[in-house]
Amino acid sequence: SLEAVSGVDDLSRRLQHVLGARSDDTDVSFSHIPRSLRPGYCLADGDTFDGASLADLIVGSEGTLGLVTEVRLRTFPVPASVGVALISFNRLRDAAAAVQRIREYSISACDLLDRRLLTLAQETTPELSHWVEPHAEALLLVEVAGDASSDVREQLERLVRKATRKDHLAGPPRLTLEPDEVALAWKLAKRVVPRLMRLRGKARPIPFMEDVWVPPEKLPVLIERAQKILRDAGVVASVYAHAAHGELHLRPLLDLSDPNHQRLLPSLAEDYFDCAVELGGMVSVEHAWGLSRSWYLRHRFGAWHARVCEVKRVFDPQRILNPGRLGDPLPPSLGENIRRVSLPAPQLPLEDGEEEVGTTVIDPQLSESVESLLGFTRQCNGCAHCRVDEAGWRMCPLFHGRPREEASPRAKANLLRAVLTGELPPETLRSDETREIADLCFHCHQCRIECPTEVDVPRIVTEWKAAHVAANGMRLRDWWLAQPERYARLGQRWVGLANLILQNRQARWLLERLTGIAAGRKLPRLAPLPFLKIAQRQRLGRADRGAQRKVAYFVDVYANWFDVELAQATVAVLRHNGFSVLVPSNQQPSGMPLVVAGSVDVARKEAIKNVRLFAELVRQGYRIVTTEPSAALCIAHEYPRLLPDDDEARLVAQHTWDAGSLLWQEHLQGRLELDFRPVHARLVYHTPCHLRALPGGVPGQRLLELVPGLRVSDAEAGCSGMAGMYGVKREHYRNSLRLGLELIASVGSQEIHGGTTECSACKLQMEHRGEKPTVHPIKILAWAYEAMHFEDNPLSRVSQPLTVT
Ligand code: SF4
Ligand code: SF4
């Protein structure tokens, strides 16, 4: 209890005084509501603090009373057997009524999803489509747990019989106790609600009628009344309920840039919440009151809320803890906290002689218009999934390395939205201060693929950086680092000297001062001749018109200037598998570092050259193959954005492959040669972020597992922390190493011979600490095929030592 905490006697006395005083809120009774669902601080019915535990007060206080530094949890054994039943109904109300018939069983969970969610589930999780009847209006997902699978199955069968007694089913119920299938079924419920935001169009599911509880037997009535309220207003909504517990989540689809829809918000919410309270229910029972529902506390339970405020004042007289919610003076209505989502009203026409000043917020480079760019930022609903550290997720590596709001993906969307809607001045995008926030994104694309609503943060950040570059020009250091081939070309003239400089402590110190390249970072040695020159000599630039299976190799910077052996291995492996390989000598680097730096104009010029060259080859039947994941992502994803009206850019994008993905497809079609010699080694594989962001999957590890004797384990260490040039820059070098610590350690572990990854930057990170080599999977395949001459086994080589430690 609070009295047991040392040094808080005074706090305890004052609290008891507040709670002990009878007030005129005695007509507000929450005693019929389960304690865990009561709103705000547990004060209902004139509780005094005597005997109440501090935990009771803190739980549900939404961070407004104090910070929890230590928690002791009681745990329960995981049940030995879990089963689920999926029951599809023709009508939503029949599904809600069926829940009432099965409540007598010991159900551990029972969720109800409406047609809108089911359609989305079928679209976004295809593996579930055979579980959901195509014309179902509602689905009940019921879970039963127990110690014996026979009991669980029997319970499920009995409750399914009872639920389906009235026969309004859309199809036969499905029942499973298979752990994978049970997990998949719950994936449906977990994934589908956030994915509502992926619906296209201006109307968005707005969570302002969320999180209402009624006694479970009243749930069908609440659903019916809610539908009437929405119907009368001409609004549609998605319905999701934890039906057995009586909790309902409604998400009406509204366009908040439309003033008529904005006006609807408060009245819809009030009618609906009042209805729930009249049915003996409550608002905000599972999630917080937050900004979107706190107003209702004051509105409906004013006197009681005044006492809540007194308690808050006892704990936090200066209103430091989570202000503006729950125990604070609250906004009078829902309308007070709505984000701006419209462009500012057009300016008045200019008078004669008057000059337009500073009105252009941004000249979009990758989006059709300012309005469509605003649409991309509006896609973010602030759900904060990008701040959560969840197993199997990578977003956002930078945020997890520096967990501050401005490092989060949503911060980028919020800031640009605020500028576009006029909440922040246009100069914001041009300032160096906010540019630093934009630089807290290294374009790994992990948020784009993992965000439940697919917010395209890399696009948002690129637009922002481009606006900064347009206003201020490229910073000199960025300009150098965005074009690594310039270094390479320069160094190539005196290749021996350049390689000596790269290994010399003093020279690296000087290089760091001049260019910003961290002295401590291992850098690859320049090859004696760039691969494109070698390819020219070997006449690899000649098209083979008669060949059936032909590929054009996009070499990019690393394989051209530094790891020529990788380029040769790629040609050898592809030829070994019957491909005719063309290496166009006039290809340009992909330009990904330019995109990341915001130098969109220059990136576009480079893209055009590549697009014209490779589009012609695609028309001749070539597929484009690259060994650098960043290059593949740049061509497949960035080029169509840089050149939105260019059909050739789309054509090239559609025919670009990561080399591993192409070979894996060959294997799936039974065409991959499997004449490997055994390679006895244990390797740790790292999946590069840019490969993960491509639609072709990440087959590098599976390909290597085809080689006899080779054992490959997944590092599962998240982002390497390199992100192209990010980890090379002096100012990010230490943070990059911190982010890559786990990966670096995984290569160093004793039983591992080395690492393998497709990305040249990740390779640098993986080789950072030790002598073990990290080798591209294609090289290992070439070695195992004996498809070309190697001086020695690439897996036995010693990685060069650090020049500056
Ligand atoms: S960017 Fe983050 S906060 Fe925004 S929708 Fe995606 S996961 Fe949620
Ligand atoms: S692209 Fe990567 S670094 Fe940038 S915000 Fe998204 S997850 Fe973070």
By alpha-carbon position, which residue is closest to atom 7 of ligand 2? 396
Structure tokens at 395: 């977003």
Q: Which of 49, 78, 145, 65 is closest to 105 using CA atoms? A: 145
Q: Which of 604, 592, 528 is closest to 560 using CA atoms? A: 528
Using the atom order of ligand 1, give the atom closest to the CA of residue 381.
5
Query: Quick check: 467 and 428 in contact, CB under 8 A?
Result: no
Query: How many A from CA of 203 to the centre of ligand 2?
Result: 26
Residues 432 and 514 both lie in one domain: no
Q: Which residue has the tokens 């969570």?
A: 207
**What distance in Å separates the CA atoms of residue 483 and residue 460, rounded to the nearest whole number?**
22
Provide, rounded to the nearest whole percent, the portion of the chain with pLDDT above 70.
Answer: 93
* DSSP annotation string for 588-648: ----HHHHHHT-HHHHHHHHHHHHHHHHHHHHTTPEEEES-HHHHHIIIIIHHHHSTT-HH
**What distance in Å separates the CA atoms of residue 223 and residue 247, rounded to the nearest whole number?**
11
Helix axes 409-420, 370-378, angle to 10 degrees: 140
Query: Quick check: 218 and 280 in contact, CB under 8 A?
Result: yes
Residue 647 CA from chain centroid, whole number:
29
| Residues whose CB is less than 8 angstroms from the CB of residue 659 and which lie 6 or more positions away in sequence, other chains included | 570, 573, 574, 625, 626, 627, 778
Question: Is residue 46 very low, low, confident or very high in pLDDT (cuts 50, 70, 90)?
Answer: very low
The verdict on residue 549 lying in a domain is yes
Q: Which of 136, 163, 198 is the last residue of a domain?
A: 198
Does 360 have pLDDT greater than 70? no
The verdict on residue 495 lying in a domain is yes
Query: How many A from CA of 110 to the centre of ligand 2?
Result: 36
Residues 699 and 780 both lie in one domain: yes
By alpha-carbon position, which residue is closest to atom 1 of ligand 1? 410
For 138, 236, 260, 280, 382, the CA distances from 240, given in Å and listed in that order, are: 10, 13, 26, 20, 20
Ligand 1 close to Cβ of residue 381 (< 6 A): yes
Q: Which of 421, 440, 473 is the last residue of a domain?
A: 473
pLDDT digits (tens, 9 = 90+) for 617-635: 999 999 999 999 999 999 9
Does 350 have pLDDT greater than 80? no
pLDDT digits (tens, 9 = 90+) for 78-110: 999 999 999 999 999 899 989 998 988 889 999
SS3 550: strand
Query: How many A from CA of 467 to the centre of ligand 2?
Result: 19
Residues 711 and 597 both lie in one domain: yes
Using the atom order of ligand 2, give the atom closest to the CA of residue 448.
6
* 388, 389, 412, 444, best to mutate for ligand 2 pocket (most atoms within 8 Å of CB): 444
pLDDT digits (tens, 9 = 90+) for 149-180: 999 999 999 999 988 876 677 788 999 999 98
Q: For the sheet with 580-582, list strands across it.
A: 580-582, 550-554, 623-626, 656-658
Question: Is residue 339 very low, low, confident or very high in pLDDT (cuts 50, 70, 90)?
Answer: confident
pLDDT digits (tens, 9 = 90+) for 520-542: 999 999 999 999 999 999 999 98
Query: How many A from CA of 403 to the centre of ligand 2?
Result: 13
Question: Is residue 185 very low, low, confident or very high in pLDDT (cuts 50, 70, 90)?
Answer: confident
The verdict on residue 309 lying in a domain is no
Domain span holding position 438: 370-473
**Closest ligand to Cα 382:** 1
**What distance in Å separates the CA atoms of residue 268 and residue 262, rounded to the nearest whole number?**
11
Residues 585 and 632 both lie in one domain: yes
The verdict on residue 274 lying in a domain is no
SS3 24: coil
Ligand 2 close to Cβ of residue 465 (< 6 A): no
Structure tokens at 114: 């409406």
pLDDT digits (tens, 9 = 90+) for 268-297: 999 999 999 999 999 988 888 887 888 888
Residues 487 and 630 both lie in one domain: yes
Strands 580-582 and 550-554: parallel
SS3 318: coil
The CATH number of the domain holding residue 115 is 3.30.70.2190
- Average pLDDT over every residue of 594-616: 97
Structure tokens at 541: 């630039």
Using the atom order of ligand 2, give the atom closest to the CA of residue 445.
1
Structure tokens at 166: 């009235």
The CATH number of the domain holding residue 420 is 1.10.1060
Does 672 have pLDDT greater than 70? yes
Greatest Cα pair distance, the chain, in angstroms, is 94
Q: Which of 418, 452, 473 is the last residue of a domain?
A: 473
**Closest ligand to Cα 397:** 2
pLDDT digits (tens, 9 = 90+) for 387-437: 988 888 899 999 998 899 999 999 999 999 999 999 999 899 989 999 999
pLDDT digits (tens, 9 = 90+) for 571-589: 999 999 999 999 999 999 9
**Closest ligand to Cα 396:** 2
**What distance in Å separates the CA atoms of residue 124 and residue 454, rounded to the nearest whole number?**
12
Query: How many A from CA of 456 to the centre of ligand 1?
Result: 10
Most confident of 444-453, 509-518, 653-662: 653-662
Element (H, E) at 401: helix 397-401
**What distance in Å separates the CA atoms of residue 184 and residue 169, rounded to the nearest whole number?**
22
Query: Quick check: 254 and 264 in contact, CB under 8 A?
Result: yes
* DSSP annotation string for 641-673: HHSTT-HHHHHHHHTEEEHHHHHHHHHHTT-S-
The amino acid at 718: G
The verdict on residue 610 lying in a domain is yes
Any idea what DSSP says for residue 729?
A: B
Strands 138-146 and 109-114: antiparallel
Residues 630 and 682 both lie in one domain: yes
Residue 665 CA from chain centroid, whole number:
27
User: What is the pLDDT of the chain when averaged over all its residues?
Assistant: 88
pLDDT the model gives residue 2: 53
Does 359 have pLDDT greater than 60? no
Q: Which of 506, 483, 557, 572 is closest to 527 using CA atoms? A: 557
Residues 539 and 434 both lie in one domain: no
The verdict on residue 249 lying in a domain is no
Residues 465 and 507 both lie in one domain: no
Does 49 have pLDDT greater than 60? no
The verdict on residue 281 lying in a domain is no
- The structural domain count of the chain equals 3
By alpha-carbon position, which residue is closest to atom 2 of ligand 2? 444
Query: How many A from CA of 412 to the centre of ligand 2?
Result: 9
By alpha-carbon position, which residue is closest to atom 6 of ligand 1? 451
Structure tokens at 193: 């609600």
Residues 590 and 725 both lie in one domain: yes
* 193, 204, 381, best to mutate for ligand 1 pocket (most atoms within 8 Å of CB): 381
Residues 176 and 87 both lie in one domain: yes
Phi then psi dihedrals of residue 173, to 5 deg: -65, 150
Does 308 have pLDDT greater than 90? no
Query: How many A from CA of 394 to the centre of ligand 2?
Result: 9
Query: Quick check: 417 and 377 in contact, CB under 8 A?
Result: yes
Dihedral sign, Cα of residue 393, residue 394, residue 395, residue 399:
positive
The verdict on residue 22 lying in a domain is no
**What distance in Å separates the CA atoms of residue 175 and residue 612, rounded to the nearest whole number?**
55
Does 24 have pLDDT greater than 70? no
Residues 140 and 170 both lie in one domain: yes
Ligand 2 close to Cβ of residue 596 (< 6 A): no
pLDDT the model gives residue 357: 47
**What distance in Å separates the CA atoms of residue 165 and residue 156, rounded to the nearest whole number?**
14
Residues 122 and 166 both lie in one domain: yes
**What distance in Å separates the CA atoms of residue 376 and residue 409, rounded to the nearest whole number?**
13
